[in-house]
Chain A
Amino acid sequence: MKRIKSVIALLLAFIMIFMLAACNKPAETTETTEEPKEEEAETTTEEPAEEPAEAEVTDYRDFTIDASKIPQEKLDTTLYLAVSVRGLENPYIATIKVGMELFAEYLDGIGQKYEMQVLDSGGSNDKEVDNMRQFAAKADGNAIAYADPNENSIAYSLAEAMAESGGYIGTAWNKPDDVGPEDLTPNWVIHTSPDNVINGYEIAKALFDAQDGKGKIFVLEGMMGNTAAIDRAKGLDQALAEYPDIEVVGRDTANWATAEALTLVETWLNQNPDVGGIWCANDNMATGALQALDKAGLKGKVGVVGIDANTDIVEAVASGDAVATVSSNGYLQGGYTLAICYAAWTGLLDVEALPAEFREFATPATVITGENVAEFQSYSPDFDFSKPFGCKAD
């Protein structure tokens, strides 16, 4: 009898959850009904007379922020800038922050009042969403943000947190396939990502070519279940299919971490001291792999590739200890995402009119090898934020 009661209670709870879920549905459908409107907006771009800048634009790549058209009251309003990231201990993520600072310099130039901050999630989904919610509430609509969702699943919640307060957000890297910026027009302005599959593929090719297309390799994958890790491995598998003489003799996850990579490679080297190359899904792990090779006296003899363009790996590429790494250009990601959101906030950019290929697109990544490493090392980021779509890859 009592058991039945508790079953009933459980059932009730479930029913409540379903009802809540159902409540959400209509909201979604109203959003999707907006889509046709967008198309309309697109086709009728000649009409609006107030926004001459936009009327002239046919390719958004040439879209320009004309500072003189920004209303003075906007310039005098304090705009809140943020980048929401996993934690600054990662050198790549630190470059995103620098990107924000570069963009802030641009704002100084045009006389925009602003405050900026870094939202550090420490790798926690809940914390990242909470941070964003608090940030958005504080800014009360006068906010723009770059967000690197900790996992796919929270991309929508992050954008929603911003949309509720009327601010503008651009996301990068992680997002489920079935949702996107168009679900939260105009506040979720863009979603961008370097192409992980291509990056994984490119470094694999660079590595295999350095090995003359044959020999044994170790593979250090990123954190399991992480989109970037999965996609980079996918790229590797594509390359492996093209190089039948490459044999994978050790494949495991080192969770993006240097120490774990060191331990794994150390162990594998005892099994296969004749290894020819090590494919790492990021540069932190490449650092560990190089350290293990150094200990075994194999540094420089075994090729190593990674992604992220950490300084030490770029140096290793220059000295020949590593074969390749990839720069995703965090400066560019952070800076330009904020610039596009800024254009939306000022009203210069009509998000609803923006075509789909300018809502979701890939940002450029550079494969750094011995040939172009010197060029990369002398690279200092210098962007023209007045042309915010300059960050589109193709």
Chain B
Amino acid sequence: MANTIDNKLLFSAKNIDKHYAATHALKGVELDVHEGEIVGLVGENGAGKSTLLKIIIGAESPTSGEMTMHGEPYDPKNPLDANANGIGMVFQEQSLIVSLTVGQNLFFGHEREFSKFGIINWPKVYKEAQQVLEEVDISNINPRKRVNELNFATRQMIEIAKVMNVTRQAGDQKCLILLDEPTSVLSETETKNLFVQMRKIAAKGHAVIFVSHRLDEVLEISDRIYVYKDGASVGMLDTKDASEIKLYEMMVGRTTSSEYYQIDKQSKPQEEVILEASDLGLAGIFKHINLKLHKGEILGVCGVVGSGKEEICEVLCGDEKPTSGELIIKGKKVNFSSPSKGLREGILMIPKERLFEGIVRTLSVQNNIALSNLKKLSKFSFVSAAKVKKQALHWIDQMRIKTNSPKELMIQLSGGNQQKVVFSRALASECDILILNHPTRGVDVGAKEEIYTLVREIAALGKAIILLGDTLDECIGMSNRVIVMKDGLITGEFDSGIYNKPSQVDVVSLMM
């Protein structure tokens, strides 16, 4: 395990840059992988790990930079190309066809190798499938079983077996296997088995790149660890030199100045509890959630993707029904069956995918603002155009929305201004509790500042806010109080007053 660095270089990426429309997702990333090595990648959400993997497997192409595989220049056009070069990947979202059998999935796309006159020799397929499964020690699965009859963990193992098949086909050539969060749905024993398999692969001289939010796992399995932050590599450690604390420190960024988040404007929450959840749970996602939200409070929720924080928001706003526990709003027990019921009780969520869920792109600014309170602007079911316009003008002024006229279409606005329209609509609906899901995602720095100002103003009005921040820094900086989630449970709660903001490392250590 220790000397892998001395082995032959298998794969290397140099100076990889990736721009999406507005964001600079990868900034000169470096990565070397040697034969027989297991390399761990860690970093916060959005640090660029997934983007990097997608580039390696050929699902995305880098804006600039070079890669080599087996010492040759490597520039895959698609995942198939990557497979031909001995690189395979287990995607976070599973890529099995559930109505087909295990064997059919394992050799999907390779049927011709088993066909005579176009007719597939299934016994031969299943015989080979059995061998592939044996190699990953899950030979107790009948390859003739359909995938939809299997549990999730087994499916994950088959996914891995499918990728390992790349190594079989590579023959003498050494391979690189990419695993993106493979353990998130596995139990402890299943994770152990996965690790055994990974070591087996490495022992044969192949290499594995392992991405996980669970630092203990990364420390357990990898030989070397790369740490990423904001799209750049911030360091590489030999595992023997690494510790969880050390990694946390590398992962989190410097704390931004308090002016940026206008912490001096942070208002003190009122005494009155407006929302209370007790022992709230959603089967398979989260449980034992107890929290209290006060009037005028900004409550930050921190956690990695899959920690359950997004689903809590969905339950709170009525999009999803909880399977246990109860929700009390303004002292009244509620049971939402749809978001509109949530809205009636004064809860509104501003969704993360603004472009998909939040706005109607082909409607005008004024109509978008009026969407959630059309009834208030109507008489006898007929909408009053004058009222719609008046309301829009009010908010355009209040929110400093840059638009030529309230009749301008949403698509003609910048991202930040679109977000402001979404905010206006939320406020126009006169809700008391606002759930902000990544409100600053995809907007530029100037717009971010304005959004922070808005959030502060809204809180000062006495409205309660639940905030899922785009970065940990933002979440801590903006909130009065922070709760930390991991694997569906609340793992910690911090006061985050003007003068006693928790450190990012403290928070991260409870997240991962």
Contact = CB atoms under 8 A, between A and B. Distances in A.
Asked if A and B touch directly (CB within 8 angstroms), the answer is yes
A343 to B, nearest CB: 55
Interface in B368-388: 375, 379-382
Main secondary structure of the interface of B (DSSP, over half): mixed
A6 B381 CA distance: 6
B377 to A, nearest CB: 13
A185 B379 CA distance: 48
A8 B378 CA distance: 14
A8 B382 CA distance: 12
A55 interface: no
A5 interface: yes
Q: Which of B375, B379, B381 has the most CB of A within 10 A?
A: B381
B45 to A, nearest CB: 43
A2 interface: yes
Contacts of A6: 381
Nearest to B382: A9
Nearest to A6: B381
Contacts of B382: 9
A10 to B, nearest CB: 9
B471 to A, nearest CB: 43
A8 to B, nearest CB: 6
A5 B374 CA distance: 14
A43 to B, nearest CB: 58
Interface in A1-18: 2, 5-6, 8-9
A5 B383 CA distance: 12
A5 B380 CA distance: 5
Interface string A348-372: 0000000000000000000000000
Interface string B100-132: 000000000000000000000000000000000
Interface residues of B toward A: which range? under 10
Nearest to A5: B380
Contacts, number: 9
B261 to A, nearest CB: 42
Nearest to A4: B380
Contacts of A2: 375
A317 B309 CA distance: 81
Contacts of A8: 380
A6 to B, nearest CB: 5
Contacts of B375: 2
Nearest to B375: A2
A85 B379 CA distance: 48
Interface string A1-43: 0100110110000000000000000000000000000000000
Nearest to A12: B380
A246 B375 CA distance: 68
B383 to A, nearest CB: 12
Contacts of B380: 5, 8-9
B263 to A, nearest CB: 44
A378 B381 CA distance: 70
Interface in B339-396: 375, 379-382
Contacts of B381: 5-6, 9
Interface in A303-322: none
Interface in A259-283: none
B73 to A, nearest CB: 64
Nearest to A2: B375
Interface string B315-330: 0000000000000000
A4 to B, nearest CB: 9
A8 B375 CA distance: 15
B429 to A, nearest CB: 16
Contacts of B379: 5
Interface in A101-141: none
Interface string B290-314: 0000000000000000000000000
B208 to A, nearest CB: 61
Contacts of A5: 379-381
B488 to A, nearest CB: 40
Interface string A180-192: 0000000000000
Nearest to A10: B381
B340 to A, nearest CB: 13
B384 to A, nearest CB: 13
Interface string A315-355: 00000000000000000000000000000000000000000
A9 B380 CA distance: 6
Contacts of A9: 380-382
Q: Which of A5, A8, A9 has the most CB of B within 10 A?
A: A5
A206 B379 CA distance: 69
Interface in A47-61: none
B381 to A, nearest CB: 5
A98 B218 CA distance: 87
A5 B379 CA distance: 8
A25 B231 CA distance: 77
A237 B380 CA distance: 55
B343 to A, nearest CB: 15
A12 to B, nearest CB: 8
Q: Which of B375, B379, B380, B382 has the most CB of A within 10 A?
A: B380
Interface string B264-303: 0000000000000000000000000000000000000000
Given A5-B381, A9-B380, 7 more contacts: A2-B375, A5-B379, A5-B380, A6-B381, A8-B380, A9-B381, A9-B382
9 contacts: A2-B375, A5-B379, A5-B380, A5-B381, A6-B381, A8-B380, A9-B380, A9-B381, A9-B382
Interface of B: 375, 379-382
> Lowest 3 CB-CB distances: which A-B pairs, in order?
A9-B381, A5-B380, A6-B381
